[in-house]
């Protein structure tokens, strides 16, 4: 399963559910965000059924980033039961991303 693009309108339902949900707060102009994109896609495939990976464009959807105090890009948040369980600011390698998800979920 690939990453899922979400919006302010469906954010709350996107982070709900039984699986942990990673939200990538990103922007089109953000270089590190673009570096992370293939890692997120790859990890989404590898961890399908164990974790859901979503992306939200902060320029098009300002409500959710504001609600969670997102200040820098990329910001990754892992939600469990609709609540923030872990936050990471900045780009990561694919291996580190996988480790962070496994440690946090």
Annotated catalytic residues are 30, 33
Residue for token pair 């954010």: 11
To the nearest 10 degrees (0 to 180), the angle between helices 31-46 and 94-104 is 60
In 3-state terms, what secondary structure has residue 15? helix
The rounded distance, in Å, linking the Cα atoms of 35 and 61 is 21
């Amino acid at each position: 399963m690939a990453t899922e693009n979400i919006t302010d309108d469906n954010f709350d339902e996107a982070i709900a559910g039984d699986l942990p949900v990673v939200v990538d707060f990103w922007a089109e102009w953000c270089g590190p965000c673009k570096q992370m994109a293939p890692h997120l896609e790859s990890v989404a495939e590898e961890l399908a059924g164990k974790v859901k990976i979503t992306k939200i464009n902060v320029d098009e959807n300002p409500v959710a980033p504001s609600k969670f105090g997102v200040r820098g890009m990329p910001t990754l948040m892992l939600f469990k039961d609709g609540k923030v369980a872990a936050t990471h600011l900045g780009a990561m390698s694919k291996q580190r991303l996988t480790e962070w998800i496994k440690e946090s979920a």
